[in-house]
Each structure stands twice: as C-alpha cells, then as structure tokens.
Structure 1
Amino acid sequence: MPQVSFALPSLSYVCRPLLDSVLPSLPPTVPDLDVPPLLREHFILSGYRPLGLPWRCCVLSLLQIHNQTLTMWSLLLAALALLLRFTGFAFLRGGGLLGFRLEGPEGQGLSVDPTSLPLVLYFISAIADLSCSAAANVLHCRSEEMHYFLFFLHSVSAAVYQYGCALALSLYSVDAIWTQSMLGQLTLRSKFAIHRRICRLFPMGVAFLVIMGPFVRRLTIYRWSNGPALMLHFFQVVLFLLSTFFFCFPVPECFAPGHYDLAGNSHHVYHALRSLCTLVQQEALFHDFLWRRPALVRQMGEQHLLLTCISFFCPMVCCSMTALAMRSRARAELEKEQR
C-alpha cells in the first residue's frame, strides 16, 4: 500500500518561483571588449557588467562581485556614516534640528538659525554628492544614454558639494583675520564665481586647492594641541591630495593590467579616500562650528549670512541647466551613431 506523506512542502520549493521572479539571476561579468568603450576603464580587462541590464539587475549587482562593487559600497557606507554622525551631532550638540528651530521669538512658529544653515547646506550637498556618485556607479550599465545622464547628474552634485564645502569652510574654519583681509575676500569671491560655472569633477579638485591657502596659515600660527580641529583639517588635506593622485594616475593597475580588476585599482582607492576625506571634513567642521558659532552673527551679520546661504542654490540651478543641455547633446550624438 503506498504511503501518503502529510509533510508540508519545503520552504525553498514554495518560495523559489517567487524569488526567481523578484530576484532574477544576474548575468556573469564580461571582459572589456564586450562593453562599449564608454564603459571601459584603462588597464581594467575584466569584471564588467554587460550593457542593457534591467533596473532590478543593476540594483542587485550590489551583491555581485564585479569591478565596481567596492566603489559602490564605499560610497553607500560613507553616505550612511555621514547621515548617522550628522544626526547624532545635530540633536546632541547642535541644539536640536540644525538650521531651524520650532520655537520663534514669541515662543511658537518656525524660526531660522542662520549660524547653522551653512552646516546644514554642507551636509545636504555632501550626502547628495555621495548618493549621486553611488547611483551613477550602480545604474550606469543600463544603457549608454543612462550612463551619460547619471554622470552628468553626478557632475552637478560634485559642483554643488564643492560650493557647500567652500561655504561652510569659509564661515567656520577660516579665522576672522583672513576672512576680513583683502586677499581673503578676493579668494572667497573668485572661488564662488568659479563654482557657478563648472560642473565637472576634476576642476572641483582645482577649486578645492584654493581653500588650502587659509588652512596653511592656520596650521602654522595655531597650536595643534588646542583642539582636534587642526589635526582633522590636516588629515582631510592629506586624504584629498592622495585621492587626487589616484584619480589622475591609474596606479597600480597600469603596472599589471588585469590583476587589479576586482579589487585594489585606482578607481577603488580614489573613492575610498574621497569618502574618508568627506567624513573627516565633516568632523572638523563640527568642531569649528561649535568654536565660531557664538560670534558668527556679530562678525558677519544675520542678513549677510542668510544671503550667503541663499546663494547656495545658484550653482545648483546653473549646473542642472548645463547637465540637461549636455544630456540632450549626448542623446543626439547617440542617435546619430545608431543611424
């Protein structure tokens, strides 16, 4: 007599069709010759995701080993760390939600705290830059047009981040003697003008070098033992210079093409150093913010601070319009090539 089993079907047997529909299997990586030249990196010979992946596969490639896995996770983890650290500082040391207060002069309503707005704008620009960079690296293999669009978007976020960085560092981290001097005013104005016209990553590094002048003076005339801010600024400058080196030079993969495809190439090192530089920079700004906040309104005036913060949106609009124009041009060029 045949035996009848009343055992429940295994969980894997029941869930496997659902998992296959929701989590499709990812195609294997391909060599550099199987992807368009636009998606190739010098001296990286393998580990590429094929062009034309569905959106779900692009996102799920976060769990796949390919030549951009380390880049994606370094950016995402840095953005998460930035968010958690800023949230903790805002409520533990910043007196509530930085930039705004729920109680106005009469005890009700919403009031603006101009002394903390530059720090809030810096955080928004930094988190946007890391997020856009991560999105570009995760999703750009969808199509060549999407590659152009995402990296144009990343260029916008990079330019906006540099403006937010310059704004916060100029107000919190540069001493008042430099800021009020003729050379300091000239540096600040020329720097802000540059940021309204550029939206590419490498010129952002050149603009960042302009900020180092005031820090060189501060590092030489103040005692480093007075607080951790000077040491943090020193580390952020070192990390920035190192990341710039790896951005410009394909080291070490140029010495052994194909050996650093999945880990250790210059693209991975650049993004890891850049992410760490942003975290150190935010920590230094926290110390400088607490140091300069009490006297900031008295030295600059509340109206001037608010107008300076409003200017933050000018490069965002200008760079966005430039990116849209460049995207239209890139789409026209791609359509021309396909004919």
Structure 2
Amino acid sequence: MATETIEELIKQTLNTIPWQTTLQLTLPAKHVPFVLHGPSILTGYRVPYKEWKYFFLSLFQLHNETVNVWSHLIGCIIISVKLYGYMDEFDVDKDYVMSTLLMFGISCLICLFTSANVHLLHSKSPYVHFVAFMVDYMGATISSFGSGIAGIYGLSEARSYRWLMPLYLPVIFISSYLNFVNLCLAKIWYGHDPHNIQRKYMFIIGMSIQALINMAPFVTRYEICFSNENCSMTSLNHLTLIQIVFILEAVTFAAYQPEKTWPGKFDIVGHGHQIFHVLIICNHVFQLDAIYADHDKKKLVSQ
C-alpha cells in the first residue's frame, strides 16, 4: 500500500473520532479576554464563548484548570469516604460528635464541589467568570461557617464553650456573611484586573479575620496546657497543624509562586492556585481528624 494511501486512511480515521475524545488545542493568554488571565499563566487557556458542552467535557481535557477541577473533585471523594467511615463507627443518635462531623464535612463538600464546577465553567466568558466566582465565594463562606461550628462543638474546651456559646453562633453567621460580601466586592471592584493586588489584600484580610473567629473556641487550650505542668504542647499538635496549613494557604494564594518566578513553566501543572487547592483539602481533612482525635481522647478519659 502506498505511503500516500496510508496517510489518507489515518486522516480519515482521525476525522471520524468525536472531538470530545481528542486532545483539544488551548490558547495563549493574549488570545483570551484579559479578565480570564491568571497572573504569570501564559498558556493552556480554553477557547472562550464556546457552547456549554465544550466546557463540561473539558473535565477530560488538559488545560490550565484541569488540576484545579480534579483536585477538588478528588477532595470530595476523600471527604465522603471519611464521613462514610465515621457513620460506620458512630451512631448519630448516641454520639454527639457525629452531628459535628457531618455538618462540617457537608460544608466542606459544598465548598469543594462548588469550586470544582466554577473552575470548570468560568472561562466561558467574562460575564460567566464573574457570576461563577460569586458562587464560589458562597461555597467558601459555607465552609468557613462549618469550620466555626467544628471549632465550638468539636474542638473547644469546657471554659471557652460556656463563655462563647451564647453569642458564638450569631457571631460566626454574621462574620461569614460579611466576609462573603467582602469577597464579592473585591471581585467587583478589582476583578477586571487579575494583577491588582488590592483584591488579594481584601481576600486575605477578610479570610484571616474569619479564621481568627473560627479559632477562638480552641486557642485557649494552648494557655491551659502551658500553665499545666502535666500537659505537653505536643498533645495539641493536631490543632497546630490546622493553623500552619491555613497560613500556608494564605501564602500560596497571595504569592503566585512558582509561576511568577518561572513564567510559563507551571501553566498546566504546579502553579500556586493548584497548590492552594491541595492545601484546602489537607486543612479540611486535618480538621475532621482533629475533631475525631479529641472525641476519641475524651472517650478514653471517661472510661
């Protein structure tokens, strides 16, 4: 068979393959609207203004949002498996900790699933981009509220619980709502320029204030442990780990590293927002583990 005939046969075969199953070409940053740019992300952008099917099916394509989407979908699976394990171990009616684990776990699932969908679909157009990230902030706010619930019901010590409980739920509800407003305003005011640092400042300050409120129920445990000679600070490592990971989240969210140092080298895999996503999942898992560990320790003490 002639070489020309073989080449023609291959071309005809490739043309019959549905586009959904073939690797789609992506665009450099200069060919997509400026608002869709990721700082120092030079390539890997999907074609804007395509039909919705194109963006849904891009879940199975390689572009600069692929890792962001799949990291949170995998996070959903991890959280779901952990919750299933807790349900197998605890009785919702008898073990008070189960309701705390469920409430926080569900808030994590909402956050992760919402974020995965936002990163999957936001590149359709600038308008969709803005609306999608407002939805993303709703998911982040629900997760933040759930973290406050975990703090007061699952991680607090008795003195803090008695002192904070009368006002704590209204406080975290109002602070979570105000933080949502702050995130939305930051996006509306500065979101047209992906490089504007003011938006990052508003995000970090708002989320940091919320984190301090969420940590208030259990931070006093350090003071109690420090003043008790029979208590080792290593017994609070599970709480310390949560706070360290949160700080790392803030740093990776703001720094745009390593892509800022090496533009174009981490467009598809390894840029800062992908690292931020992984840290979010780690923090959710560590908080669930902390609630479980404290409950397990209390159970051993009571026996």
Distance in 1 (alpha carbons) for counterparts of 2:234 and 2:264 = 48
Query: Do residues 178 (structure 1) and 160 (structure 2) align?
Result: yes
Deviations, residues 64-93 of structure 1 (Å, cap 9, x unaligned): 2222222112111111000011111111x2
In the TM superposition, residue 25 of structure 1 has moved relative to its aligned partner by 4.1
Query: Do residues 144 (structure 1) and 126 (structure 2) align?
Result: yes
In structure 1, what is the equivalent of residue 58 of structure 2? Answer: 61
Distance in 2 (alpha carbons) for counterparts of 1:257 and 1:167 = 40
**1:172, 1:292 within 8 Å by CA — same for their partners in 2?**
no
- Quickly say closer, same or farther: Cα 1:141–1:34, change in 2 above 3 A: same
Give me the TM-score of the superposition, normalised by structure 1: 0.68
1:145 counterpart SS class = helix
1:238 counterpart SS class = helix
Gap runs ≥5 in structure 2? 1-11, 184-202, 226-230
**1:53, 1:141 within 8 Å by CA — same for their partners in 2?**
no
| Structure showing greater Rg | 1
**1:158, 1:204 within 8 Å by CA — same for their partners in 2?**
no
Equivalent position amino acid for 1:269 in 2: I
- Quickly say closer, same or farther: Cα 1:287–1:44, change in 2 above 3 A: same
Query: Do residues 74 (structure 1) and 108 (structure 2) align?
Result: no
In structure 2, what is the equivalent of residue 259 of structure 1? Answer: 265
% identical equivalent positions: 25
Equivalent position amino acid for 1:35 in 2: V
**1:44, 1:260 within 8 Å by CA — same for their partners in 2?**
yes
**2:87, 2:98 within 8 Å by CA — same for their partners in 1?**
no
Distance in 2 (alpha carbons) for counterparts of 1:262 and 1:174 = 41
In structure 1, what is the equivalent of residue 283 of structure 2? Answer: 277
Aligned length: 262
Distance in 2 (alpha carbons) for counterparts of 1:197 and 1:292 = 35
Question: Which one has the bigger helix percentage?
Answer: 2
Equivalent position amino acid for 1:87 in 2: Y
- Quickly say closer, same or farther: Cα 1:37–1:272, change in 2 above 3 A: same
Query: Do residues 20 (structure 1) and 18 (structure 2) align?
Result: yes
> Which of 53-62 and 39-48 deviates more?
53-62
Give me the TM-score of the superposition, normalised by structure 2: 0.75
In structure 1, what is the equivalent of residue 8 of structure 2? Answer: none
Equivalent position amino acid for 1:61 in 2: S
1:197 counterpart SS class = helix
- Identify the match of residue 123 of structure 1 among 80, 101, 105: 105
In structure 1, what is the equivalent of residue 220 of structure 2? Answer: 217
Distance in 2 (alpha carbons) for counterparts of 1:282 and 1:63 = 30
Deviations, residues 40-77 of structure 1 (Å, cap 9, x unaligned): 11111111111123333323323322222221121111
**2:86, 2:98 within 8 Å by CA — same for their partners in 1?**
no
In the TM superposition, residue 251 of structure 1 has moved relative to its aligned partner by 1.9
Equivalent position amino acid for 2:18 in 1: D
Distance in 2 (alpha carbons) for counterparts of 1:282 and 1:178 = 20
In structure 1, what is the equivalent of residue 198 of structure 2? Answer: none
Distance in 2 (alpha carbons) for counterparts of 1:69 and 1:206 = 31
- Quickly say closer, same or farther: Cα 1:53–1:236, change in 2 above 3 A: farther
Over the aligned positions, Cα root-mean-square deviation in angstroms equals 3.0
In structure 2, what is the equivalent of residue 198 of structure 1? Answer: 179
Distance in 1 (alpha carbons) for counterparts of 2:65 and 2:82 = 26
**1:159, 1:204 within 8 Å by CA — same for their partners in 2?**
no
- Quickly say closer, same or farther: Cα 1:55–1:292, change in 2 above 3 A: farther
**1:224, 1:231 within 8 Å by CA — same for their partners in 2?**
no
Task: Describe how 1:1-339 pairs up with structure 2 within 5 A.
Answer: 17=16, 20=18, 23=20, 25=22, 27-91=24-88, 93-95=89-91, 98=92, 116-181=98-163, 189-199=170-180, 200=183, 202=204, 203-222=206-225, 223=231, 230-290=236-296
Distance in 2 (alpha carbons) for counterparts of 1:64 and 1:38 = 22
Deviations, residues 166-225 of structure 1 (Å, cap 9, x unaligned): 01211110101112236x766665333212333136423430123334433323534458
In the TM superposition, residue 26 of structure 1 has moved relative to its aligned partner by 5.1
Gap runs ≥5 in structure 1? 1-12, 102-112, 294-339
> Which of 203-212 and 65-74 deviates more?
203-212
